[in-house]
Structure 1
Amino acid sequence: MNIRLPALFKTPLFSAPVCIALAASLLLAACASPGTPATPAASDPIHRHALVRPASPAPQWEGLRERISTATAPLPGIKVGAADAQGVRIEIPVADGFSSGSTAIRPSLASALEAIAPALTDDNGVAIKVIGHTDSQGSEMVNLRLSIERAEAVVSYLSERGIALERLSADGQGEADPLTSNATEEGRARNRRVELLLRAMP
């Protein structure tokens, strides 16, 4: 293939390597399609739509709190906190919700989650953080791990009831955040709990 170079390239000012480099640049520039955008997704409505997640509806905290309070009213011990700008906190006692040292959900906790889940299933603007708590019996590290695993078991249970996993997260505090003294069995039972923090989706 013979490429005719402009006369300028034949002058002594240009060495052979420089001429080759300049010729390659001109060839590439000529082959490039004029006006091609650097980022196709920026001008392609299909790609642009795929990159932007629709905004979640703003939660109506007071209405949600009322629905949960009504659903859990027949169940003992469940506390639904006041609705505020941050959301709602739900406290579920699990003194009988798990067997000792286990993450298997027992009927009392299952009943509470079955009552709460329907109020949350279709409210896609609400994120649910599940936090597990234990009493101070046993090793602190074992209690921390157990509280996290119990929170994860609750997340799995709620997911199986139709709540999207992207709305759920799990954490555990172990024995670090007691509601009362662990010196008595009554106090230890109260400290064994699961909390659901309902917040707006990010």
Structure 2
Amino acid sequence: MTARTARRKSTFPTALVSTALLASLLAACATPGGGTDGGTDAIHRHALVRTAPPAPSWSTLHEQLGKATAGLAGVELGKVDKAGFHVQVPVADGFASGSAEIRPALGRALDALAPALAAETGVAVRVLGHTDSQGSEMVNLRLSIARAEAVVAWLRERGIALDRLAADGRGEADPLTSNATEEGRVRNRRIELILSPMP
């Protein structure tokens, strides 16, 4: 027997054992619980089972938000359906021109909405920013996203979990009316909260 053959023979069982050990480790990792108790230990139950959030009561939430914003000019609630509804908040006085810093008028509207939204843990809140058509399209798109992100941060600070919030912007792409007049531009500058069930 040559030294090379002896070396091959002596390493073969070790390689076989290593392969078997690796296979058993992979099987243990792939099996929830990894033990003989069928994965019922507290650690694995916590890691693998996510409690579904309660189904939203859209009509109740709509009513609560309507009462909360009754004294706020321009806030509009969309129609309720099984997919949720949207809330439209004007931002003509909510941000300075070209800025994403929330002014008191918008802060009051968001503060009025936040408690009911925070309490409904089964509701996802997608914030969409919109601008008028003044300035360049790219600048308006960036501004609308920055404003939506500022609203998300504001709502997060008022108790709405981050995993329920998302921000996006449309810039000048989805106007409600013509941008040819100042009145139209004021109406087109807005924030929308799209309320839908948590996935």
TM-score class normalised by the smaller sequence: 0.7 to 0.9
- Whichever residue aligns with residue 83 of structure 2, its letter is Q
Q: Are the equivalent residues in 2 in contact too, given 1:120–1:163 (CA < 8 A)? A: yes
TM-score, normalising length from structure 1? 0.84
Per-residue CA distance 1:134-189 (angstroms, 9 max, x = gap): 00001111111000000011111111111111111100000000000000000000
Flag as ranges the 4+ runs of structure 1 deviating above 4 A.
Answer: 25-32
Cα–Cα, structure 1 residues 84 and 100, in superposed 2: closer, same or farther, change >3 Å? same
**Structure 2 equivalent of residue 20 of structure 1:** 10
- The answer on 1:151 being equivalent to 2:141 is no
Secondary structure in 2 matching 1:110: helix
- SS of alignment partner, residue 38 of structure 1: helix
Question: 1:52 Cα shift?
Answer: 2.8
Structure 2 CA distance for partners of 1:27 and 1:132, relative to 1, 3 Å: closer
For the pair shown, the structure with the greater C-alpha radius of gyration is: 1
Query: Residues 23-102 of structure 1: matches in 2 within 5 Å?
Result: 23-24=13-14, 38-39=28-29, 42-43=32-33, 44=39, 45=41, 46-102=43-99
CA separation in 2, counterparts of 1:74 and 1:87?
Answer: 23
Q: Distance in 2 between the 1:101 and 1:27 partners?
A: 67
8 A contact 1:41–1:47 mirrored in 2: no
Alpha-carbon RMSD: 2.5
* Structure 2: tracts of 5 or more residues without a match: 34-38
Which stretches in structure 1 are left out of the alignment for 5+ residues?
1-9
% of aligned pairs identical? 59
Aligned pair count reads: 188
